Structure 1
Amino acid sequence: MAHAQAFRRSRKAHEPIEGGRGRSRSICERDAAIVTAASEASVAAETPSGGRHALLRSDRAKGLALISPTFVYTLIFLLAPIVVVVVHSFWTQTYLTIDRTFTLENYKTALTEPIYRDLLVRSLYISLTVSVATALFAYPIAYYISFYGAQRKSLWLFLITIPFWTGYLLRVMAWKVILGYNGVLNEALMGLGITSQPVSELLYSTNAVIITLIHAWAVFAVLPIFVSLEKVDRTLIEAATDLGDGAVRRFLRITLPLSMPGVIGAILIVMIPTVGDYVTPKLVGGTEGVMIANAIEAQFGRAQNWPLGAALSVTTMIVVSLMAGACVLLLRGLVRLVR
């Protein structure tokens, strides 16, 4: 009995201590939970900032930062003027007063007036002829420099750029002297006995515009073709030679298809600006060589009809874009057909 009472007293004495331990354990667990929640909250709060810093350090962000000046330049100096021209094309102008009422009358005039339609067709013909002829003349030059230039490639490229040290206007005027009635070409023809008198059709004609534009844009066609030819893997040509292919077959099956991006680039580089050239037709074209750019210049200048000039510009831009796309598809189809 005495032992039982002593056991109960000792148990009661130990009960507060065990309860204190339980309470202290619960307090520790609660504090740990609070610390964990606080740390998770801090991590969650820091994650967006850390993500932003990681995004800024990514290759994509570096690429965007690298092209952003070019993008801003394009947006301000290229896209903005096009937007202004397009907006003006839907307005009308009476003397110096512009009516901002939406209308399609300018496009109707640009597409239905025979004079503008004929000028556009002539401009497309001249541009396409110049582009193809320039590429045909430039390809052999680029091919020779790439495959046979050896250590003198830089020298050859330097030499073909010498005529372009002078201004564009001077080069056009030089052709006016060459093709003139008493010019160098007529003197040479009469000296060789080919003609008995000067040929008047050389200057102030469509042919004069084509010849002058071919010379003016020749180097711009040589360079992209040369770059494409430099990228052609010579081991493919050597393998074709070992398999018995001749020079023509190697060219048609390997060199020409692999260099076609340069040819397409050269044609586009020449085609797009030559449609809008108005200096060359004005100096060497005469009445037969007038192009759509001369009509656009007249509307923005002497006629002071900016909306009609804008409509002519937009129409020309759309037609040239369609023609350029058709040329690209046609050239790719020809390459597949040849191969």
Structure 2
Amino acid sequence: MTAAALGAAADTPPPARQGRWVRSEEARGLAMISPTFLYALALLLLPVLTVLAYSFWTQDYLDIDRTFTLENYRQALTEPIYRDLFVRSLWISLVVSVATVVFSYPIAWFISFHGGVHRNLWLFLVTVPCWTSYLLRVMSWKVILGYGGVLNTGLISLGLIDEPVTSLLYNSNAVVITLVHSWAAFAILPIYVSLQKIDRTLIEAARDLGDSRMRAFFRVTLPLSLPGVVSAFLIVMIPTVGDYVTPRLVGGKDGVMIATAIQTQFGKGANWPLGAALSVTTMVLVSLAAAVVVFALKFAVRRIR
């Protein structure tokens, strides 16, 4: 018997040890989660692989030419219209994510530290807007920001303006406002959970050692709640880039985002390969932007401490 065979034989567990492992708690746990894990993996991975495969093909009238090509990516990265949409989409998603986290953090902090016995009631009120349809929430902001909407009517009644403001709707600002409101609850909850896990004695120790309330917040509360902040940021940023309903309803021509172009290619444009290439490019750009922002956020908090 060769040395390699002897080594392989030595590394092979004896049958008795294999039998014990099969009957162990670890093996039974893996057997229980494996079907669910494989099912979830298939649901998540197969659609992405399908879109990735389409991005390397071309549309030949009503048929798909499966010859490998990078033409779709060339169009996605070099066409000025798509470059502008990528930049605008990333900028809007970043602004929405930052604004949502900034507005959500004080609410989550208040519920966590001062909610008291009414904490569950506050959380219940936070989730109330999610009871209605997402489309209905977007349409409500169209009514609020419209030319004859609630905001213009109120400002005229107070004498602050003489005629309705036309710049409130059908622009990128309207998209940002609507998306911040729509995703606020999804940012408040992870931040709240992260704040709830903070040991209050650490904050008391910082105060006893001479830190002011503000300094204790930046040195203790904010760094320890950073996982919730990062989660909230990613929860908001990733879906907003792919939102095409809100830009279509309240954005107008100045609020169009890349998701609208993708939806057009998969719909009226009937060019699935180009739409797939735009989708893959968007996923890559969003991942890179999210990684940069998360790293910058951690670095800023570290510098503050």
Q: Which residue of the partner structure matches residue 318 of structure 1?
A: 284
Residue 331, structure 1, aligned to residue 290, structure 2:
no
Could you tell me which of 55, 76, 94 is aligned with 1:110? 76
**1:88-237 matched pairs, under 5 angstroms:** 88-237=54-203
Q: Indicate the SS of the match to 2:253.
A: coil
Over 6 Å off, 4+ runs: none
Could you tell me which of 42, 56, 70 is aligned with 1:76? 42
Q: Which residue of the partner structure matches residue 276 of structure 1?
A: 242
**Structure 1 range deviating more: 67-76 or 113-122:** 67-76
Q: Distance in 1 between matches of 2:164 and 2:124?
A: 36
User: Which blocks of at least 5 consecutive residues in structure 1 are unaligned?
Assistant: 1-46
User: Which blocks of at least 5 consecutive residues in structure 2 are unaligned?
Assistant: 1-13
Deviations 1:304-324 (A, max 9, x none): 000000000000000000011
Q: Distance in 2 between matches of 1:196 and 1:69?
A: 65
- % same residue: 66
Q: Which residue of the partner structure matches residue 34 of structure 1?
A: none
Q: Which residue of the partner structure matches residue 13 of structure 1?
A: none
Deviations 1:26-75 (A, max 9, x none): xxxxxxxxxxxxxxxxxxxxx52x43442233343244234324422322
Q: Which residue of the partner structure matches residue 265 of structure 2?
A: 299
Q: Distance in 2 between matches of 1:326 and 1:242?
A: 36
Could you tell me which of 232, 254, 265 is aligned with 1:266? 232
Deviations 1:119-163 (A, max 9, x none): 011000010000000000000000000000111111110111111
Distance 1:117-1:72 versus aligned 2 partners, 3 A rule: same
Q: Distance in 2 between matches of 1:62 and 1:239?
A: 45
Deviations 1:53-98 (A, max 9, x none): 4223334324423432442232221100000000010000121011
Distance 1:272-1:70 versus aligned 2 partners, 3 A rule: farther
Q: Distance in 1 between matches of 2:166 and 2:259?
A: 25
Q: Indicate the SS of the match to 2:167.
A: helix
Q: Indicate the SS of the match to 1:287.
A: helix
Matched residues, number: 293
Q: Which residue of the partner structure matches residue 257 of structure 1?
A: 223
Q: State the Cα distance separating 1:191 from its structure 2 match.
A: 1.2
Deviations 1:267-296 (A, max 9, x none): 000000000000100111111110000000
Letter of the aligned partner of 2:247 in structure 1? P
Deviations 1:193-239 (A, max 9, x none): 22111111111110000000001000000011001100111011111
Q: Indicate the SS of the match to 1:194.
A: coil
Letter of the aligned partner of 2:237 in structure 1? M
**Structure 1 range deviating more: 94-103 or 66-75:** 66-75
Distance 1:186-1:62 versus aligned 2 partners, 3 A rule: farther
Could you tell me which of 64, 82, 87 is aligned with 2:53? 87
Deviations 1:86-120 (A, max 9, x none): 00100001210111111000000000000001001
Q: Distance in 2 between matches of 1:167 and 1:73?
A: 29
Q: Indicate the SS of the match to 1:152.
A: helix
Q: Distance in 1 between matches of 2:133 and 2:111?
A: 25
Q: Distance in 2 between matches of 1:56 and 1:130?
A: 50
Distance 1:240-1:312 versus aligned 2 partners, 3 A rule: same
Q: What's the C-alpha RMSD, in Å, of the aligned pairs?
A: 1.3
Q: Distance in 1 between matches of 2:238 and 2:143?
A: 27
Q: Which residue of the partner structure matches residue 26 of structure 2?
A: 60
Calculate the TM-score normalised by the size of structure 1.
0.84
